[in-house]
Chains A and B, each alone.
Chain A
Amino acid sequence: MPAMIETSGLRRTFRTRGGEVEAVRGVDMQVAAGEIVGFLGPNGAGKTTTLRMLTTLLRPTAGTATVAGSDVAADPAGVRRKVGYVAQGGVTYPEARAGEELVDHARLYGISRSEARRRARTLFEQLDLPGLFDRPCKSLSGGQRRRLDIAMGLVHGPGLIFLDEPTSGLDPQSRANLWQHIRGLRDDLGTTVFLTTHYLEEADALCDRIMIIDHGEIVARGTPDELKRGVSGDVITLALADASDSGAAAATAARVAGTEPTVDGVTVHLQVADGAATLPSLLRHLGVEGIRATSVEVRRPSLDDVFLDLTGRSLRDEPAAQTGAEYAHSA
């Protein structure tokens, strides 16, 4: 299969008052046509900066990127013609009418007025936006507005679409609905999808392949299953009654299980080969030390654990609003 995205040593440095910041430091990636790829990372890891380089909004400081067959630096117009981009904060003006935004956007790609109207009507049907053509964008619900954003990214029929945090801020029902539409992009239209997300269950449910970026470098890549297999054994999650016990609990856990746990407030995460076998001994030792646990859980590793394992941070705990900082970097 031909590569839709191919980058080599992609790098981006920003000059700030505090000196140079290396937002992205040498990213190599390949995305094949027809894939749904998830790009994950904590805030400030370099996700949006990478996305902005791939969509020609930022010039790489070093390295090369070929997107949909065109080089981002040498032929940005070629890239722009062939990719769609849906930014994380939305792309439509609240006062404008939904249908008009879509038709005007299509026309900026050189599409004729009548063809633009036809495509816009079709996309309104496909993305489940009936009767909203003449409504102001601000009157649409969060989920409808996001589907309109995606329609904007699709109206010129790109082979590749970038979705930056497509479901952030949506309620669970709208999110599940949007997942179906995103799957449909690939299954029905054959579009390659490159998405960033904060939700690991989203990446797990939606993506064929995942890349995790941290401190501007890709730290892991693979299918969700491959990544989960990389985290050995089971995960024991221990919730303590008292946060001041966490140090002692971690030490005890390390002694019993022979692996180093990660501590996150009152929660202690522990990776062990056989969770069920380790648990009785662990609880007994904690009891001897006088450490009280309020709950304990043994489970197969999730992508959350992969993430925690790789970056030492939990993705879930970070408020999505912080991504503004990453955005402002590039401004």
Chain B
Amino acid sequence: MRIARETWIVFVRAMRLSLRNPVWIFIGLTQPILYLGLFGPLLEPMSQIPGIPPGESWQWFVPGILIQLGIFGAAFVGFGLVAEYRAGVVERMRVTPASRIALLGGRVLRDVVVLLVQSAILIVVAMLFFDLDAPLSGLVIGLGLVGLLGVSLAALSYAVALTLKSEDALAPLLNGLALPVLLLSGILLPMSVAPSWLQTVSDFNPFRYVVDGARAVFRGDLDSSTALWGLVVTLALVLVGITVGTRTFRRESA
């Protein structure tokens, strides 16, 4: 398997660079942990409000924050590629006979591994210091969803980065997309409390289904249609990400 070998070489190189500066892995965790510590407590007394899921707020808030970590963690990886492009690394690899898919895949794999490590830490923190209580099967499937989401968004982020080749163009684009996606996913408050027009708008946001799915599996509703839809939409996002990513990496002068 030539592609697998090349993907591994690119992955190990990228992973080594990440591990050499592990501070970033923890910096990526500060935002979600701040949300848990400084925003999560506001939700505790809200369980009486119509639309808010019954029971402890942590059960639905933590999976949402986990998906948020997945979205933000993966969507911004393109910045690293712009830096590599500027250093001439991307072109240098493109004049080797290595598969273009491996050049993308190795990097995406690194991002997913980093994301899963961060997610696992986040879950442990949520269980130890906040009142998260979820079945192991739900946690594993939830992590799987985050990983798949990471594949999709990291590949898309790299595709956009390779097309724009500039931090200055990338930053406003990603920020401009990330905030509405975040707000329309019901991560901070479930969309079930939203007025109907807002719910309708959020129906068009694929990430909402991923968030709902993650919440369902954390509740233990593994065979619910919500969980299934979450998985289906996530897989669709993976398909889109890989397609766009590989097409961009294969394109000439990309």
Inter-chain contacts of B2 with A (CB < 8 A): 110
B87 CB within 8 Å of chain A? yes
A331 vs B20: C-alpha distance when bound (angstroms): 31
B96 & A109 in contact (Cβ 8 Å cutoff): yes
B96 & A80 in contact (Cβ 8 Å cutoff): yes
Within 8 A of A (CB), among B75-102: 83-84, 86-89, 91-98
B252 CB within 8 Å of chain A? yes
Inter-chain contacts of B6 with A (CB < 8 A): 108
A119 CB within 8 Å of chain B? no
A89 vs B91: C-alpha distance when bound (angstroms): 11
Q: Which 9 residue pairs spanning A and B have beta carbons closest together?
A: A91-B92, A108-B96, A108-B98, A91-B88, A80-B97, A85-B95, A77-B97, A104-B13, A87-B88
Inter-chain contacts of A100 with B (CB < 8 A): 13, 16
Inter-chain contacts of A107 with B (CB < 8 A): 9
B253 CB within 8 Å of chain A? yes
B196 CB within 8 Å of chain A? no
Q: In the complex, which of the residues A83, A95, A107, A156 has the most CB atoms of chain B within 10 Å of its own CB atom?
A: A107
Inter-chain contacts of A80 with B (CB < 8 A): 95-97
Within 8 A of B (CB), among A290-331: 330-331
B91 & A87 in contact (Cβ 8 Å cutoff): yes
A94 CB within 8 Å of chain B? yes
State the main secondary structure of chain B at its contact with A.
helix
Inter-chain contacts of A56 with B (CB < 8 A): 95
A74 CB within 8 Å of chain B? no
User: Beta-carbon contacts of A104-141 to B below 8 Å, as 1s and 0s?
Assistant: 11011110000000000000000000000000000000
Within 8 A of A (CB), among B221-254: 252-253
B17 CB within 8 Å of chain A? yes
A91 vs B94: C-alpha distance when bound (angstroms): 11
A270 vs B98: C-alpha distance when bound (angstroms): 53
A267 CB within 8 Å of chain B? no
B21 CB within 8 Å of chain A? yes
User: Beta-carbon contacts of A67-98 to B below 8 Å, as 1s and 0s?
Assistant: 00000000001001101110101111111100
A2 vs B233: C-alpha distance when bound (angstroms): 57
Count chain A residues whose beta carbon lies closer than 8 angstroms to a beta carbon of B: 32
- B83 to chain A minimum Cβ distance, whole angstroms, is 8
B89 & A91 in contact (Cβ 8 Å cutoff): yes
A58 & B253 in contact (Cβ 8 Å cutoff): yes
Nearest chain-A residue to B163 (Cβ)?
Answer: A331
Known: A93-B83, A109-B97. 5 other contacts (CB 8 A): A80-B97, A91-B87, A96-B13, A108-B93, A331-B253
A331 vs B165: C-alpha distance when bound (angstroms): 8
Inter-chain contacts of A84 with B (CB < 8 A): 95
- A82 to chain B minimum Cβ distance, whole angstroms, is 9
Count chain B residues whose beta carbon lies closer than 8 angstroms to a beta carbon of A: 27
27 A-B residue pairs with Cβ-Cβ distance under 8 Å, sorted by A, are: A56-B95, A57-B253, A58-B253, A59-B252, A80-B97, A84-B95, A87-B92, A89-B88, A91-B87, A91-B88, A91-B89, A91-B92, A92-B92, A93-B84, A95-B17, A96-B16, A96-B17, A100-B13, A100-B16, A104-B9, A105-B93, A105-B96, A108-B6, A108-B97, A109-B97, A110-B2, A156-B96
A104 vs B9: C-alpha distance when bound (angstroms): 7
B94 & A57 in contact (Cβ 8 Å cutoff): yes
A152 CB within 8 Å of chain B? yes
Partner of B252, one of A58, A93, A95: A58
Inter-chain contacts of B20 with A (CB < 8 A): 95
B97 & A52 in contact (Cβ 8 Å cutoff): no
A94 vs B16: C-alpha distance when bound (angstroms): 13
A83 & B95 in contact (Cβ 8 Å cutoff): yes
Inter-chain contacts of B17 with A (CB < 8 A): 93, 95-96
Q: In the complex, which of the residues B10, B17, B89 has the most CB atoms of chain A within 10 Å of its own CB atom?
A: B89
A84 vs B97: C-alpha distance when bound (angstroms): 11
- A54 to chain B minimum Cβ distance, whole angstroms, is 10
Known contacts A59-B252, A152-B92; is A110 also within 8 Å of B97 by CB?
yes
User: Beta-carbon contacts of B1-42 to A below 8 Å, as 1s and 0s?
Assistant: 010001001101100110011000000000000000000000
- A196 to chain B minimum Cβ distance, whole angstroms, is 15
B95 & A55 in contact (Cβ 8 Å cutoff): yes
